């Protein structure tokens, strides 16, 4: 890192330590040895699953909340402490509703068509079609039926296939038929068994139609000789009172839906709320492991329709709006509501929700949920009695399910994302449940997760202990101002403080004159995160009215201050006037802004004026009123930037130094691991009031960095000028005398 007066570098051992931290081993250690990797995770939960089988573990909300969003700080270990590779199913939204359709064309064995008299003028048209059940369908239905009857409550046995339907296709433009599907008895003494019945129809104006019968998922029993089994032929009987015969074509269709990941609704913690300018602004804490797909609004209000938008906040945030739309609820007999707002990918640790209430009261008992598509881990736990588990067993046909145990370790944000060889998941040689790189969660055996506990082998040494050593000293006497900082860092050894307009007004615009030092004036490395803003009110003078114009003086709460937008909320419901805004900077006035202020009737929004990025001491707003009364403002606010400072430090007291116009920007090696630092948890430090730095010496600034030579030179030059001037004046007087 570099200071104003000297340049040093941290010992290279720190870099090697960091490299070791970021490149944690993902190779499997010897059996029976507890891997050092396991000590990085503060939380754990037991896993139970069938041994040597391809299984799925759905991650609950408490695991996701404690983990990083990319699940880098999550590992699976078997009973002997060996790392188990896994693949992550994040629930790609593209597979929602994905259907696998299988169609079989059964052989038509026999046809019977007849009519029956119903009363004096009505006939009943009856047609029966005997179809041979395809052998593949018979085998599949028999296996599923037998398995379910043998273990109806089993959660680890074979899963039932997708539902089958019998579908007809007929050319008639209009028809109504009662349909029955029955089995053909295996012997003459047997009785047919009803499989399905219902109505098939096509009705025009308006068009309505139904062409299928759903087969039961579990076939009814036949007789003792054939149960459990499937008849080799079925009879489809169609009856109706309008002719002619349908003579349909018949197909058997299976529709198997590949389910997406289950969605979880996780309550979000509110950390701030304000109501202004017809808006409710709520700041929500986003646990780092939760990346919401939807934001769900919860409220007790019975009827509403509100526009809202969601913004990303905090380190690594996205610069664009995450979501924009509306939520509503209608008080009808059947409750109609739309409370979910789709979101883009959030990167910061907070969400800012802006609800446009306009003149309506704020929503009652307002709260929010993050709706996420719960990710799942796909893996194979080895048989505890086996020393060389393989994937072949996961796809085998052995119905014996032997239990296996393991441990899920997670949290801490200290581990590097693992890179496993998971090509087998997408290959044709992988488990039977995997097809074309996708799989059906319903056909993968589930693993269960026990209660989350603190890990007994977790090493609590702060992740940033290596970076807590102070750096090179700084000349504190060069800084005009200071603030005392009380630090109680997080478990990771990281602290955070927020600099607002009061601090930024004492600093240079590039924030170069900012240092954190210990009691020996040694620098503490830090990261500065910019981009966040806050709204604060400005003081507005009474207007100076002259010649149809009103002139207002606007003063920010701190001067000079960087303001990038003004929000003006007049008390009148309608106005349409021209304005001129001139800002005063420490270096003089800026180019005035001119424009039109317009509020249409019924629009409660404040008027916004975008400003150039300059440090303003004050504003003068001139409004052309004509013969109208001057505007009165309910509120005038400005949008001010704030700066977040993250720094690794031990518990104790430090000083924040501000205000050195000649300072060079600080450069720390910490910047090279910015993403790692910002992924860790940080505790907020307590800032004391702004004070004058008692050690400040103006002369010290003048003489620093070899400047004393220039000072001496100018003194010599000035003395020479005075001396020469005196000699010249003396000679001139002698000549006159």
Quick: pLDDT tens for 627-666. 999 999 989 999 999 999 999 999 999 999 999 988 999 9
- Beta strands, E only, 160-220: 163-169, 175-183, 194-203, 208-210, 212-214
Last residue of a domain, one of 225, 258, 291: 258
Both 473 and 621 in one domain: the answer is: no
Mean pLDDT, residues 354-361 taken together: 91
pLDDT digits (tens, 9 = 90+) for 22-81: 333 333 333 443 448 899 899 999 999 999 888 889 898 889 888 887 788 999 999 999
Average the pLDDT over each of 14-18, 83-87, 136-140, 419-423 and give the range with the smallest value.
Answer: 14-18
Collect all residues with Cβ–Cβ distance below 8 Å to 546 and sequence separation of at least 6: none
pLDDT for residue 135 is more than 50: yes
Average the pLDDT over each of 95-109, 129-143, 323-337, 586-600 and give the range with the smallest value.
Answer: 95-109
Last residue of a domain, one of 212, 232, 258: 258
Q: Is residue 437 in a domain?
A: yes
Both 685 and 670 in one domain: the answer is: yes
Please tell me the predicted confidence (pLDDT) of residue 19. 38
In the sheet that 445-446 helps form, which strands lie side by side, from edge to edge? 86-89, 376-380, 54-58, 445-446
Please tell me the predicted confidence (pLDDT) of residue 261. 59
Q: Is residue 7 in a domain?
A: no
pLDDT for residue 608 is more than 60: yes
Both 290 and 347 in one domain: the answer is: yes
Both 194 and 120 in one domain: the answer is: yes
Please tell me the predicted confidence (pLDDT) of residue 263. 78
Do 248 and 168 form a contact (C-beta atoms < 8 A)? Answer: yes
Both 719 and 678 in one domain: the answer is: no
Both 569 and 690 in one domain: the answer is: no
CB atoms within 10 A of CB 250: 17
Please tell me the predicted confidence (pLDDT) of residue 443. 63
Please tell me the predicted confidence (pLDDT) of residue 400. 64
Average the pLDDT over each of 157-171, 179-193, 312-326 and give the range with the smallest value.
Answer: 157-171
Please tell me the predicted confidence (pLDDT) of residue 283. 92
Please tell me the predicted confidence (pLDDT) of residue 489. 92
Please tell me the predicted confidence (pLDDT) of residue 422. 52
Average the pLDDT over each of 234-248, 306-320, 617-631, 693-707 and give the range with the smallest value.
Answer: 693-707
Residue 6 pLDDT grade (very low, low, confident, very high; cuts 50, 70, 90) = very low
- Beta strands, E only, 79-172: 86-89, 98-104, 107-118, 122-132, 163-169
Please tell me the predicted confidence (pLDDT) of residue 118. 81
Please tell me the predicted confidence (pLDDT) of residue 298. 95
Q: Is residue 19 in a domain?
A: no
Distance CA 370, CA 349 (A): 13
Both 637 and 647 in one domain: the answer is: no
Question: Looking at residue 625, which CATH number applies to its domain?
Answer: 2.60.120.260
pLDDT for residue 430 is more than 90: no
Both 621 and 654 in one domain: the answer is: no
Q: Is residue 29 in a domain?
A: no
Mean pLDDT, residues 539-557 taken together: 94
pLDDT for residue 216 is more than 60: yes
Nearest to 360 by CA among 278, 300, 276, 302: 278
CB atoms within 10 A of CB 97: 10
Average the pLDDT over each of 19-28, 248-257, 477-486, 620-629 and give the range with the smallest value.
Answer: 19-28
Q: Is the pTM of this model over 0.85?
A: no
Of residues 701 and 655, which shows the higher confidence score?
655
Both 283 and 360 in one domain: the answer is: yes
**Structural domain boundaries enclosing 729:** 706-736
Nearest to 473 by CA among 429, 439, 520: 520
Of residues 697 and 110, which shows the higher confidence score?
110
- Domain total in the chain: 6
Please tell me the predicted confidence (pLDDT) of residue 49. 93
Both 674 and 545 in one domain: the answer is: no
Question: Looking at residue 339, which CATH number applies to its domain?
Answer: 2.60.120
Q: What is the largest CA-CA distance in the chain?
A: 158
Mean pLDDT, residues 713-730 taken together: 76
Mean pLDDT, residues 494-521 taken together: 93
Report the percentage of the chain scoring pLDDT > 70.
Answer: 79
pLDDT for residue 561 is more than 70: yes
The DSSP string of 347-385 is -SSEEEEEEE-TTSPPPTT-EEEEEEE--EEEEEPPPTT
Please tell me the predicted confidence (pLDDT) of residue 394. 39
Both 134 and 252 in one domain: the answer is: yes
pLDDT for residue 97 is more than 70: no
Please tell me the predicted confidence (pLDDT) of residue 246. 93
Please tell me the predicted confidence (pLDDT) of residue 590. 84
Average the pLDDT over each of 59-63, 369-373, 484-488, 718-722 and give the range with the smallest value.
Answer: 718-722
Q: Is residue 460 in a domain?
A: no
Mean pLDDT, residues 680-691 taken together: 91
Please tell me the predicted confidence (pLDDT) of residue 707. 54
pLDDT digits (tens, 9 = 90+) for 435-492: 444 455 556 788 999 999 999 999 988 888 889 999 999 999 999 999 999 999 988 8
Please tell me the predicted confidence (pLDDT) of residue 365. 94
Last residue of a domain, one of 390, 425, 454: 454
pLDDT for residue 5 is more than 50: no
Q: Is residue 4 in a domain?
A: no
For the chain, what is the mean pLDDT? 81
Q: Is residue 305 in a domain?
A: yes
pLDDT for residue 703 is more than 80: no
pLDDT for residue 315 is more than 80: no
Both 283 and 419 in one domain: the answer is: no
Q: Is residue 207 in a domain?
A: yes
């Amino acid at each position: 890192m570099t200071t104003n007066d000297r340049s040093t570098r941290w010992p290279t051992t720190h870099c090697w330590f960091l490299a070791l931290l970021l490149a944690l081993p993902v190779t499997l250690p010897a059996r029976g040895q507890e891997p050092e990797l396991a000590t990085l995770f503060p939380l754990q939960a037991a896993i139970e699953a069938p041994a040597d089988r391809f299984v799925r573990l759905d991650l609950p909300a408490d695991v996701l909340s404690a983990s990083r969003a990319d699940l880098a700080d999550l590992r699976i270990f078997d009973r002997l402490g060996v790392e188990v590779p896994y693949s992550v199913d994040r629930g790609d939204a593209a597979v929602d509703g994905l259907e696998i359709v299988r169609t079989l064309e059964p052989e038509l064995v026999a046809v019977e068509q007849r009519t029956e008299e119903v009363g004096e003028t009505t006939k009943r048209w009856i047609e029966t079609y005997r179809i041979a059940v395809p052998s593949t369908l018979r085998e599949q239905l028999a296996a599923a039926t037998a398995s379910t009857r043998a273990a109806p409550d089993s959660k680890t046995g074979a899963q039932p296939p997708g539902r089958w339907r019998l579908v007809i296709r007929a050319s008639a433009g209009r028809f109504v038929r009662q349909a029955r599907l029955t089995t053909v008895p295996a012997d003459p003494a047997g009785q047919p068994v009803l499989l399905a019945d219902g109505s098939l129809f096509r009705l025009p104006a308006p068009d309505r139609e139904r062409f299928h019968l759903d087969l039961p998922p579990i076939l009814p029993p036949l007789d003792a000789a054939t149960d459990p089994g499937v008849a080799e032929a079925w009879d489809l009987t169609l009856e109706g009172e309008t002719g002619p015969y349908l003579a349909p074509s018949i197909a058997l269709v299976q529709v198997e839906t590949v389910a997406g990941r289950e969605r979880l609704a996780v309550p979000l913690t509110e950390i701030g709320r304000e109501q202004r300018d017809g808006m409710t602004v709520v700041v929500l804490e986003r646990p780092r492991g939760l990346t919401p797909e939807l934001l769900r609004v919860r409220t007790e209000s019975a009827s509403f329709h509100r526009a809202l938008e969601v913004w990303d906040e905090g380190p690594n945030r996205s610069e664009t709006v995450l979501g924009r739309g509306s939520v509503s609820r209608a008080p009808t007999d059947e409750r109609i509501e739309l409370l979910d707002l789709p979101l883009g990918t959030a990167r910061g640790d907070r969400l800012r929700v802006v609800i446009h209430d306009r003149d309506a009261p704020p929503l009652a008992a307002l709260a929010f949920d993050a709706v996420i598509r719960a990710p799942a881990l796909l893996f194979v736990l080895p048989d505890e009695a086996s020393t060389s588990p393989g994937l072949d067993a996961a796809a085998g046909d052995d119905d014996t399910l032997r239990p296996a145990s393991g441990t899920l370790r997670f949290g801490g944000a200290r581990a590097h994302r693992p890179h496993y060889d998971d090509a087998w998941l997408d290959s044709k040689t992988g488990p039977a449940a995997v097809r074309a790189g996708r799989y059906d969660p319903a056909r993968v055996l589930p693993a269960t997760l026990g209660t989350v506990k603190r890990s007994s082998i977790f090493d609590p040494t702060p992740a940033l202990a290596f970076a807590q050593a102070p750096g090179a000293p700084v000349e504190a006497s060069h800084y005009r101002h200071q603030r005392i900082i009380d630090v109680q860092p997080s478990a990771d050894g990281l602290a955070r403080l927020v600099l607002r307009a009061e601090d930024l007004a004492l600093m240079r615009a590039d924030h170069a004159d900012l240092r954190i030092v210990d009691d020996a004036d040694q620098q503490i490395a830090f990261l500065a995160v910019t981009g966040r803003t806050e709204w604060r009110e400005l003081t507005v003078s009474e207007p100076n009215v002259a010649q149809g114009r009103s002139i207002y003086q606007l003063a920010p709460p701190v001067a000079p201050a960087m303001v990038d937008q003004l929000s003006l909320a007049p008390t009148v419901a309608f106005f349409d006037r021209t304005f001129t805004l001139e800002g005063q900077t420490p270096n003089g006035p800026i180019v005035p802004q001119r424009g039109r202020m317009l509020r249409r009737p019924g629009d409660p929004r404040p008027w916004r004026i975008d400003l150039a990025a300059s440090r303003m001491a004050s504003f003068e707003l001139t409004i052309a009123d004509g013969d109208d009364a001057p505007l009165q403002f309910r509120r005038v606010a400005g949008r001010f930037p704030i700066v977040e400072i993250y720094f690794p430090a031990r518990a104790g007291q430090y000083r924040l130094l501000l205000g050195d116009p000649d300072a060079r920007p600080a450069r720390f090696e910490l910047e090279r691991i910015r993403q790692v630092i910002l992924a860790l948890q940080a505790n907020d430090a307590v800032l004391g009031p702004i004070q004058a730095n008692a050690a400040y010496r103006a002369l010290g600034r003048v003489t620093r960095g070899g400047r004393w030579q220039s000072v001496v030179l100018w003194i010599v030059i000035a003395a020479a000028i005075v001396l020469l001037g005196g000699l010249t004046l003396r000679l001139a007087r002698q000549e006159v005398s």
